[in-house]
Structure formats: structure tokens, C-alpha cells
């Protein structure tokens, strides 16, 4: 038998085995109240608030710096429920305000130009994710990672958070390109809250923190899986497992987050602050010269 | 009576007399005089005044101004405690933000600067009437209630009162949005310098 012929026969066999494992997981999950769980120990260090370095204060139009650290929650997609661990997700950046004729503001989120769109996430470890039970060496472990596929928008005034994301599912069988959602067809999260708790001084850094702000989104839709397994051979298995595509109304995300905020002028380097202070004078001089 | 006992009683009497003298002089020192004795127009300006709530939120204004007139004699002297009020009209606060969120502040009522030398040193307090300031930052609305921010030191040379996270400004908030104090009553501390410009400069002495 040639090597090519062997490869041709082995590949479908692996795909079928993987599919069976995933389907098995789906069955097991259904019997266990459709909860994958994230009881495994995350390998990544939980994300925390670590100052205002993620705020692009060099942009002198940025007026407020904001950081949202998700401290916990739960995401339900179709028949799948995934607990969101403490420090699994952080959104950080700056906010500009454009005053409208009626006195209201249009807020624009400005991330630090590091290619992350202001969204920083850790893989959510799902031990036994593929078949619903732990296995030796964690062979069936799945991790889910939130990836921003567009610019999020933090509305500081209303503590709303809008994010187009895709959910990357990873394990050795699914490969490195298995996603729920895509750049063209993302999961559009729109997290809203109903009031803010009392703020507290941050202490070590300037600004204030609103602890344990509750956010909810019950309206997002979850697209079908793509890129799972060799040539997407396991897309159907992931869709069976996750219940995707899942229409709006069948999914939910609830989070509890610490929301940090500070006026950008308070964390802007002195040189930039001086340039900002000089701006009106320069404009006035230009006006006089003109 | 032994000489030691006699000495002890004498010492006690001297001490009591001294205490009475100190107390009497303390009462006598509680007076305030503003100079000059003529009615003098004065403008108060600041190039940066901030109010930080107990929750750590800061309302900051890049420009603060107001104007008033010092009282003419005999109103420029208060022989007792409580100092002297200088009514401040046309109070304006501009370039304001609440942790970066643009804020507009409208003022009303009778604001006053109270100066006193009750402790022997010149001090100043800003007296804000109930509803004296209305702050709007997006959907966050804050109303300042009756407050006396101070006393803080007044410098007779620079004619400036300087607050450093001192004084108490009372307010109520609607808690209307993020970057907004929680709904209900709250307090804030003041930081900044308020300079009183007049010719000649006013001085506050016991």
C-alpha cells in the first residue's frame, strides 16, 4: 500500500473517531443538563486590572480610560453552557466623546494599537469537554477562547459593552481553526446592565472601580461551526455538540465584572498633558493670526 | 503647714490663674478683620479645582471664577467668632469633566467666601447654598446641597486659599450612569487653589 493510500484511509478513520468522541460528549452533556463546565484548572494566569498602560492616552482626544475585568459568569449557546472563570476576559482602552447638538454624547472606544482590539482573553479550560468525562492526559480536553473580530465599544456612560467575537474551540482533534462565529459572521455580544453599584477608589492607581457590575445579553445568535477538524470534517459534530447554529433567544451570556474608570488626563504622561494644555492656546493664536 | 505643702498650694493657684489668663486671651483672639476697610471689588479665580467623592470619582474643572465685594467698615471687622462673609456672585465653573465624561455645571443662589482668623491664622471657607450647583455629565445628574467647604488656609501674601483633599461638599446623585456616584447622598473633598484678585489685595487678620 502506498503512503498516500495509507494517509487517505487513516484520515477518515481519525475524523470518524473524533466525531464519535465529540458526539459522545454531546450525548453525555445532554444527560448532564447540557453543561460542559470549566471545572478544570485554567493553565493561564487570570487576567486582572494592572494599571492604565492599555489606555491609548497618546491620543489626546481620549478623555476616559476604561477597563472591564470579567470576574465570572456563564455563557449558554444552544445546548451548551460554559461557566466563565474569574479573569477569563478583559476589555481595556480609551473612550472619546463627541458632543451632539442636543447635548448628548457619541462615545467611541479606542483600543491600544496592539492588534488585540482592546480584548484580552484566556482560554477557558473544559476538561473532558469532548466526551463529558476526564480522560488520562486530558486527551479530550477542549478550550474555548473569546477572540474579538472587530472593534468593541464600551459605553462608559451606560456601562454597555458591544463586541463582535468568535469563539475558538481547541483540542488536538479540532485543529487550530475551529470557530463558532467568524469575522464575516460574528457572535455579536451586546452586554447591558441595569444600574451601577457604588464605586470605590482603586487605591494603587488613580481612578475608581465599580465592583461586581452585572451584565446580560440574551439576544445574540451563534453561527454554525467552521474549520473544525481536517477540512472542516468535524463541523457537523461540533454543531451537534453545541447546538449551533443557535438563533437569537436561545443563547445567553451573564457576567459579573469589575469596571475601572479614570480621566485620561490623570494618567497621561506630563509631556503629552502639556501638549494637550497648549492646544487651546495654539488654536487661539492661529485664530488671531488668521 | 509644711513649706512643701505651702509650695504645692501656691503652684496650683498660679497654674489656675495662668489657665484663666490663657482662656481669656483665647476668647479675645477670636476676631477677624479684613483689610482694606473700604468696600473692595474682588474676583476669585482658579485654574484647576477638583472634587473627589468618597467613591473615588473626580469632578474636575479647569476654570472657576466668581466676583464679589468686601464689606466696608464697620462690616470688615467681626470682634467675635465666625469670621466675615464675602458674597460671591456670578460663580462659573467651566471645562469640567467627571472622570473624563464632559460635564456642565450651572450655579445658582448666594455663594459666599467666609474668611476668619478665629484660630489666629487666616482661613477661608466656600459656602454653597442648597442647590447651589447642578452638574450634568451624560445621564448623571448631581445637585450640590448646602455645604461649607473648608476652612482651608488663606495666604495673606498670595491672596489664595488652598485646599488639599479637604473640606466637605455635600451632594445628591441620581446614579444615572457609569462614572456617576451611586444614587442618593454623598460627599466630596476639594483640592485646588482659589486666588482672590483685588487692588489692593485683601488681608485677613485677627
- How does pLDDT run across A56-68, given as a tens digit for each residue? 999 999 999 999 9
Write down the pLDDT at residue A48: 95
Write down the pLDDT at residue A279: 59
Residues B1 and B93 occupy one common structural domain: no
Which CA distances in Å does A100 have to A85, A106, A134, B25, B59? 39, 7, 56, 62, 21
Do B197 and B53 meet the contact criterion of CB atoms below 8 Å apart? no
- Residue contact A263–B100, C-beta within 8 A: yes
Residues B122 and B132 occupy one common structural domain: yes
Residues B71 and B112 occupy one common structural domain: yes
Residues B132 and B161 occupy one common structural domain: yes
Q: Does B135 touch chain A (CB under 8 A)?
A: no
Give counts: helices (H), strands (E), chain B.
Answer: 1, 15
B13 pLDDT tier (thresholds 50, 70, 90)? very low
The average pLDDT across B163-179 equals 87
**Separation between Cα atoms, residue B204 and residue A61, nearest integer Å:** 43
Residues of A in contact with B94 (CB under 8 A): none
Prediction ipTM score: 0.79
**Separation between Cα atoms, residue B130 and residue B147, nearest integer Å:** 7
Nearest CA-CA distance, residue B83 and chain A, Å: 35
Cα-to-chain-centroid distance, residue A171: 19
Residues B14 and B74 occupy one common structural domain: no
Answer whether 0.80 is exceeded by the pTM: no
A140 pLDDT tier (thresholds 50, 70, 90)? low
CA angle B86, B88, B94 (to 5 degrees): 145
Residues B45 and B83 occupy one common structural domain: yes
Nearest CA-CA distance, residue B160 and chain A, Å: 23
C-alpha cell at A186: 460574528
Nearest CA-CA distance, residue A211 and chain B, Å: 11
Reply yes or no on whether the pLDDT at A289 is more than 90: no
Reply yes or no on whether the pLDDT at A180 is more than 70: yes
- Residue contact A199–B53, C-beta within 8 A: yes
Residues B158 and B88 occupy one common structural domain: yes
Q: Is B194 helix (H, G, I), strand (E, B) or coil?
A: strand
- Residue contact B177–A200, C-beta within 8 A: no
As a whole number of angstroms, the longest Cα–Cα distance in chain B is 82
Write down the pLDDT at residue B20: 38
Per-residue pLDDT tens over the stretch A241-256: 888 999 999 999 999 9
The average pLDDT across B16-31 equals 48
Q: Is B18 helix (H, G, I), strand (E, B) or coil?
A: helix
For residue B105, list its beta bridge partners: B135
Mutate to test the interface with B, among A94, A160, A202, A263 (most CBs of B within 10 A): A263
Domain count of chain B? 2
Residues B24 and B46 occupy one common structural domain: no
**Enclosing domain of residue B121:** 32-205
Residues 70..109 of B with a Cβ closer than 8 Å to A: which?
Answer: 97, 99-102, 104
A43 pLDDT tier (thresholds 50, 70, 90)? low
- Residue contact B100–A158, C-beta within 8 A: no
Residues B146 and B63 occupy one common structural domain: yes
Nearest CA-CA distance, residue B96 and chain A, Å: 11
Residue in chain A lying closest to B97 (CA): A263
- Residue contact A105–B97, C-beta within 8 A: no
**Separation between Cα atoms, residue A243 and residue A212, nearest integer Å:** 30
A13 phi and psi angles, rounded to 5 deg: -65, -45
Write down the pLDDT at residue A45: 87
Amino acid at each position: 500500500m502506498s503512503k498516500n493510500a495509507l494517509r487517505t484511509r487513516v484520515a477518515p478513520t481519525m475524523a470518524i473517531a473524533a466525531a464519535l468522541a465529540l458526539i459522545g460528549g454531546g450525548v453525555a452533556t445532554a444527560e448532564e443538563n447540557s453543561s460542559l463546565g470549566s471545572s478544570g484548572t485554567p493553565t493561564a494566569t487570570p487576567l486582572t486590572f494592572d494599571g492604565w498602560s492599555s489606555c491609548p492616552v497618546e491620543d489626546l482626544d481620549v478623555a476616559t480610560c476604561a477597563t472591564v475585568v470579567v470576574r465570572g459568569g456563564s455563557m449558554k449557546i444552544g445546548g451548551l453552557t460554559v461557566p466563565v472563570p474569574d479573569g477569563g476576559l478583559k476589555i481595556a482602552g480609551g473612550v472619546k466623546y463627541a458632543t451632539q447638538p442636543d447635548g448628548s454624547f457619541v462615545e467611541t472606544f479606542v483600543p491600544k494599537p496592539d492588534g488585540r482590539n482592546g480584548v484580552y482573553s484566556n482560554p477557558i479550560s473544559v476538561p473532558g469537554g469532548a466526551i463529558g468525562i476526564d480522560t488520562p492526559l486530558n486527551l479530550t480536553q477542549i478550550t474555548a477562547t473569546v477572540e474579538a473580530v472587530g472593534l468593541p465599544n464600551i459605553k462608559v456612560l451606560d456601562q454597555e459593552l458591544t463586541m463582535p467575537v468568535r469563539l475558538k474551540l481547541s483540542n488536538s482533534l479540532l485543529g487550530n481553526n475551529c470557530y463558532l462565529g467568524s469575522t464575516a459572521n460574528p457572535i455579536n455580544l451586546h452586554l447591558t446592565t441595569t444600574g451601577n453599584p457604588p464605586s470605590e477608589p482603586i487605591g494603587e492607581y488613580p481612578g475608581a472601580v465599580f465592583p461586581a457590575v452585572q451584565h446580560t445579553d440574551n439576544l445574540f445568535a451563534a453561527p454554525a461551526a467552521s474549520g473544525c477538524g481536517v477540512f472542516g470534517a468535524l463541523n457537523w459534530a461540533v454543531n451537534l455538540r453545541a447546538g449551533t447554529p443557535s438563533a437569537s433567544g436561545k443563547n445567553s451570556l451573564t457576567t459579573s465584572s469589575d469596571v475601572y474608570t479614570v480621566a485620561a488626563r490623570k494618567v497621561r504622561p506630563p509631556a503629552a498633558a502639556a501638549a494637550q494644555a497648549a492646544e487651546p492656546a495654539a488654536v487661539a493664536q492661529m485664530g488671531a493670526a488668521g | 503647714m509644711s513649706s512643701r505643702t505651702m509650695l504645692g498650694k501656691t503652684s496650683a493657684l498660679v497654674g489656675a490663674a495662668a489657665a484663666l489668663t490663657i482662656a481669656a486671651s483665647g476668647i479675645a483672639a477670636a476676631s477677624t478683620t479684613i483689610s482694606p476697610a473700604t468696600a473692595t471689588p474682588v474676583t476669585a479665580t482658579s485654574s484647576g479645582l477638583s472634587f473627589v467623592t468618597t467613591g473615588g470619582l473626580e469632578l474636575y474643572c479647569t476654570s472657576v471664577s466668581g466676583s464679589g465685594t468686601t464689606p466696608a467698615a464697620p462690616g470688615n471687622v467681626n470682634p467675635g467668632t465666625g469670621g466675615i462673609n464675602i458674597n460671591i456672585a456670578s460663580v462659573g465653573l467651566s471645562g469640567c469633566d467627571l472622570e473624563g465624561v464632559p460635564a456642565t455645571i450651572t450655579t445658582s443662589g448666594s455663594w459666599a467666601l467666609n474668611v476668619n482668623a478665629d484660630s489666629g491664622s487666616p482661613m477661608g471657607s466656600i459656602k454653597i447654598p442648597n442647590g447651589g450647583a447642578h452638574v450634568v455629565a451624560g445621564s448623571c445628574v448631581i445637585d450640590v446641597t448646602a455645604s461649607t467647604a473648608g476652612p482651608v488656609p488663606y495666604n495673606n501674601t498670595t491672596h489664595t486659599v488652598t485646599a488639599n483633599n479637604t473640606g466637605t461638599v455635600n451632594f445628591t446623585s441620581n446614579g444615572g450612569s457609569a462614572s456617576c456616584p451611586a444614587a442618593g447622598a454623598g460627599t466630596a473633598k476639594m483640592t485646588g487653589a482659589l486666588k482672590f484678585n483685588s487692588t489692593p489685595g485683601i488681608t485677613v487678620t485677627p
